[in-house]
Amino acid sequence: MNSTLSFLADLLLFMGLPWLIWVGLRKRLPLAVIPILVGMLLSGLQLPVKALGVPSPLGNTLGLIGVILLAFTAGLEMRHSPEGTDHGGGRPMPALRPLRIGISALIALALPFAAATLVSYYHFLDLPAWTPERGKSWLTAMAIGLCLAVSALPVLVALVQEFAAEHKVYGYIALTVALLDDVVLWLGLGAIQIAANVHGGPGFGHEQWMAAYCLSALFIFSLVTNRHSQNVPGWLAWLVALVYLFGGAWASERLGVHELIGAYFAGALLPPHWMKKIHIERVGKTGLVLLAPLFFGHSGLNVNGSVMGWGSLATALGLLAIAMVTKVGAAVLIPPVAGLSWRERFAVGSLLQCKGLMEIVAATLLHAQGLLSEYGYAALVTLAVISTTITGPIFRAILPLRRQPPMVTETEVTV
């Protein structure tokens, strides 16, 4: 089929159709998950979309650029603290204690990761349908555990922006924990990819040395300019941001790690004074709304239709139960902020269990690496869609709107 017509079919299926569905459902379903559902539906019904040239080469490229922008934005968010900002209700963000936040984030990561890794190794990977190309290994089990430990930073940002004023403080508490979760996610993805490529990677030749020099130069530039660039012109900040984005993505790809991981850490390295000139929200929305739907629609389309059914749905629900119990339980037992009631702890935990699009990104990379079977990939994508869809309703059910102000105040926060 003509490449232009293939691209138009791509846009129609994974951008036009999801938008119409979203409007038709009166925006009750998150727009971000609809392209994935469309792709999974097309795959499950085994419709001949490949005859239309879908996914198109240009659609694949634009979709990848979209998730690279999402990863870069997530890295930028690492250097952007919400503390002290006004959330629309006249209340500043509570003074968060780094030690307490760090311990809470560590437990919220360790519990689901450990539980999912052990259950996967001793149960799921013994099932024929779950055995990936590389066979049963602790690396594969840890890949599944990492997917279940994810908190969806970009989706949470969008969710919190839609919250009522009295709910925003809880959203920003969850975001602070999710920022740390995100760092571990990308570090973990990079480590797993490096470990998987130990015996089949590109080796360390001229291009790899160039990539290492590139990353070193970005790091040194960040250190040098961090203290000596108070008044940065906007155009120069955008130029430097593009250099960081493309430099980080290229370097990580040359080192045998996916471009997304380099894009994330490039965003995290960008000096804060330069970052302030960049509209993080605009960059994130451009990736999420205009480009990334193609990537996520293709991810849903890549799910093997023959493995989708009640079995994969039941497995996804079982994994969701493990993820929710451990993630929410960690937030309840060791809350990131002192002074929260039991109901408020459950509310923050319900936000942290949101898997969102980051799990689908992680699962797609791991599936391409041969670390996830077709059945495992289908279950994890289904889990991400369900988790993202139920996050908002569960949070509002736990913490409905009320007249009195939120219980968390700056004076109530102690170490």
Q: Is residue 185 part of a domain?
A: yes
CB 215 within 8 A of CB 251: yes
pLDDT > 50? residue 352: yes
Looking at residue 409, its pLDDT comes to: 46
> Poorest-confidence range of 198-207, 345-354, 365-374, 383-392?
198-207
CA distance 258 to 112: 24
> Poorest-confidence range of 52-61, 65-74, 111-120, 314-323?
65-74
Q: Is residue 173 part of a domain?
A: yes
Q: Which residue has the higher pLDDT, 49 or 82?
A: 49
Q: Is residue 356 part of a domain?
A: yes
φ and ψ at residue 167, rounded to 5 degrees:
-95, -15
Please give the average per-residue pLDDT across 137-152, as a whole number: 88
CA distance 142 to 122: 12
Please give the average per-residue pLDDT across 305-313, as a whole number: 80
Pick the most confident of 82-91, 218-227, 335-344. 335-344
Return the residue matching tokens 């089990």: 141
**Residue 183: CB atoms within 10 Å:** 18
Looking at residue 414, its pLDDT comes to: 36
Residue 328 binned pLDDT confidence (cut-offs 50, 70, 90): very high
Looking at residue 411, its pLDDT comes to: 40
CA distance 169 to 159: 12
CA distance 18 to 34: 5
CA distance 196 to 200: 8
Return the residue matching tokens 């996520």: 296
Q: How many structural domains does the chain have?
A: 1
Q: Is residue 181 part of a domain?
A: yes
CA distance 161 to 283: 15
Please give the average per-residue pLDDT across 335-353, as a whole number: 88
Q: Is residue 12 part of a domain?
A: no
- 255-267 pLDDT, tens digit per residue, is 777 788 888 888 8
pLDDT > 60? residue 87: no
Instruction: Calculate the average pLDDT of the chain.
Output: 81
Render the burial of 69-108: b for 16+ CB within 10 Å, e for the rest.
bbbbbbbbbbbeebeeeebeeebebbebbeebbeebbbbb
Given its phi and psi angles, is residue 108 left (phi above 0), alpha (psi -120 to 50 degrees) or beta? Answer: alpha
- 180-231 pLDDT, tens digit per residue, is 877 887 788 888 877 877 555 555 667 778 888 888 888 888 887 776 666 7
Which of 352, 347, 353, 349 shows the shortest CA–CA distance to 398?
A: 347
Q: Which residue has the higher pLDDT, 397 or 73?
A: 397
Q: Is residue 29 part of a domain?
A: no
Domain coverage including residue 67: 56-402
φ and ψ at residue 337, rounded to 5 degrees:
-135, 135
Q: Is residue 245 part of a domain?
A: yes
CA distance 396 to 386: 16
CB 94 within 8 A of CB 331: no
Q: Is residue 87 part of a domain?
A: yes
Looking at residue 121, its pLDDT comes to: 92
CATH code for position 61: 1.20.1530.20
Q: What is the residue type of 113?
A: F
pLDDT > 90: what percent of the chain?
12
CA distance 149 to 159: 19
Instruction: Cite the DSSP H helix spans in 57-151.
Output: 57-78, 98-122, 138-149
Looking at residue 235, its pLDDT comes to: 77
Looking at residue 1, its pLDDT comes to: 59
Looking at residue 33, its pLDDT comes to: 85
